[in-house]
Chain A
Amino acid sequence: MNTLIYTSVLGFGLMVLEVLKLRKWISPAIILGLSLIFGINIHDWNQPGSYMGNMLEISNFTVAFNALAIFITLLIAMLASEYYSDEEHHISDYMAIMTFVLCGAQMMLGYANLVLFFIGIETLSISLYALSGSKRFDAKSNEAGFKYFLMGSFASGFLLFGIALMYGATQSFDLNKLAEYAMGTSVSPLFLTGLLLVLFALFFKVSAAPFHFWAPDVYEGAPSIITAFMSTLVKVVGFAAFYKFLHVFGYLIPVKFDWLITLVAILSLVTGNLSALAQENFKRLMAYSGISHAGYLLIGLVGAAAFPSSAILYYGLGYSLSTIGAFAIAMAVFKSTGSESISAFNGLGKKNPVLAACLTATMLGLAGIPPFAGFFGKFYIFSEAIQNGHFYLVLVGILSSMIGIYYYMKVVIAMYAKPANETKIEISLTNQLVMWLCLVLVLLIGIMPSLVTGLF
């Protein structure tokens, strides 16, 4: 509750700072503010409660994912202060909108009412439409923003329709009442249709195939920093919200819709991994990689009630840190070379061995190779799936992991085996800091997974 309020205040505060002509203070303010909010959030640990007429519910689940979301935003804000350093007059807009994305994310994590869920999704999405199209004079960025906007608001329409149908069946938006209804003997088709439509919208948000079409285009066109933000925060929060939703309807969804989640998981794995193979653009590659990761996580959500939420947290943490670490390096490379294709990394191993080694580590982490966090993340998901008897899913998962290694290695091969070009790569201190932070954490939780999985 407090977390959400202070985050909103921080967002407005940043805009006020601009008005007061304190532009220099915006980056420090957001970093400091987010750190404080992180602490305020942690303070809610083990203090469950519900607020605003049972709209918002705080549990350890919420606090843990909030902490992750705030941490991701903090890392991105640090990178952003560097990324936007040559565009100072807009920095308050970007930073404030990012904070509002975080607000939306927190609503999506803590919702106990479909109204708040909808408002959370929309706050997050509308802010991201604006951010994706924020390079105003770049046709690609415009296109990305507009495509995202069109498809996103289209999906919101279905989400709303679904919510309305569920409301029609139950006369309530309250999750507890909905769950109660779903547990009853007769569930009206109205309600099931509504549930299905909400599921579609959630599939859209986490970019699972066949609702993934927006992701590659938007990731490629959006400014790199926003790509990093979207691919980590939105995915993690989307999955947390998804998990919560499945958990609420734990008696209904596994019976009715397991086949759908299974199908979407397989489709996402196939689509993500196959399409990633032939990509030349690094951001597009990361988009397809994100689609495949959505597939892995969906494997975990098949028969969701049994799956521990801490495993999603762990996977999300490992995935986000690896991705942000990779982007911290990639953004420096993009800036120096002026290209966003994989060939921009050519010869990095010779020019800048430390960066190359770190990028290799993040790629290995994403591919799920020990000792990085990605390994145990996948391990938990696969072992859970085997225990539930979904061998075919695990088979698909492992096959696609193998394909995954191929395209992650493409980046590594470019760095070590391709001849270097002349441009020198300069990486700022902030980026280095973020990079090391991500790497150390990924290694740490990769070696000691119980740090995260033992939380709850």
Chain B
Amino acid sequence: MNPITNPESTTNWYLFLSCLLFSIGVMGVLFRKNALIILMCIELMLNAVNLLLVSFSAYSGNTDGQTFVFFIMVVAAAEVAVGLALMVSIYRNIGSIDIQSLNKLKW
């Protein structure tokens, strides 16, 4: 009755979807230059994992995965808070949030 719990093939679809989302996130982090967008892409990666966990959980009928999702959301929120704070402080210091301008520390 529940499309997720029933046929195995459906889980695979969720698996593919979350992999796709994760890859989009990774690509975004790799190739975008704006720190804000990179931050969003990291969020996308985390949410792809959330989707994955929820679908595994629903498929197996084990609720651990769904509970973990809440933890991940909390952690993600904390991460974003720290990330945004750092970004603001960078913007105040160098007037840009392009990560290519972060190159004073090298070699």
Contacts and interface: CB of A to CB of B under 8 A. Distances in A.
Direct touching of A and B (C-beta under 8 Å): yes
A129 B22 contact: no
Contact of A143 (B15, B72, B90): B90
Contact of B68 (A126, A137, A161, A173): A173
Contact of B64 (A133, A144, A147, A173): A173
A369 B47 CA distance: 49
Interface in B19-57: 22, 25-26, 29, 35, 38, 42, 45-46, 48-49, 52-53, 56-57
B105 A221 contact: yes
A217 B105 CA distance: 5
B4 to A, nearest CB: 13
Given A115-B68, A164-B52, A142 B42 contact: no
Interface stretch (A8-16, A148-156, A247-255): A148-156
Nearest to B25: A157
Contact of A139 (B60, B72, B75, B94): B94
B10 interface: no
Contact of B56 (A133, A139, A168): A168
Contacts, number: 118
Interface in B49-94: 49, 52-53, 56-57, 60, 62, 64-65, 68, 71-72, 75, 78-79, 82-83, 85-87, 89-90, 93-94
B99 to A, nearest CB: 7
A157 B38 CA distance: 13
Contact of B105 (A136, A137, A147, A168): A147
A130 interface: yes
A150 B86 CA distance: 10
Chain B CB within 10 A, most for which of A149, A165, A216: A149
A153 B83 contact: yes
A116 to B, nearest CB: 10
A149 B106 contact: no
Given A118-B71, A146-B90, A126 B78 contact: yes
Interface string A153-180: 1101100110011011001110000000
A419 B82 CA distance: 44
B71 A154 contact: no
B102 interface: yes
A171 B86 contact: no
A217 B49 contact: no
Given A153-B42, A161-B52, A146 B86 contact: yes
Nearest to A216: B105
A173 B75 CA distance: 17
Given A139-B94, A140-B105, A129 B62 contact: no
A114 to B, nearest CB: 9
A171 B57 CA distance: 7
Interface in A212-241: 216-218, 220-221
B71 A126 contact: no
A145 interface: yes
Contacts of A171: 56, 60, 62, 64
Contacts of B102: 143, 146-147
A146 B64 CA distance: 33
A142 B46 contact: no
A133 B86 contact: yes
A437 interface: no
Contacts of B48: 161
Given A167-B56, A217-B105, A161 B62 contact: no
Contact of B49 (A133, A145, A147, A164): A164
A104 B93 CA distance: 30
A157 B85 CA distance: 20
Given A133-B86, A164-B56, A172 B62 contact: yes
A119 interface: yes
A160 B72 contact: yes
Contact of B29 (A144, A154, A161, A168): A154
Given A156-B75, A218-B105, 15 more contacts: A129-B82, A129-B83, A130-B85, A133-B89, A139-B94, A140-B104, A143-B90, A146-B99, A149-B79, A153-B79, A157-B25, A157-B49, A167-B56, A168-B56, A172-B64
Interface of A: 115, 118-119, 122, 126, 129-130, 133, 136-140, 142-147, 149-150, 153-154, 156-157, 160-161, 164-165, 167-168, 171-173, 216-218, 220-221
15 contacts: A118-B75, A119-B71, A129-B79, A133-B86, A139-B94, A140-B104, A142-B86, A147-B102, A147-B105, A149-B82, A153-B42, A157-B22, A161-B22, A216-B105, A221-B105
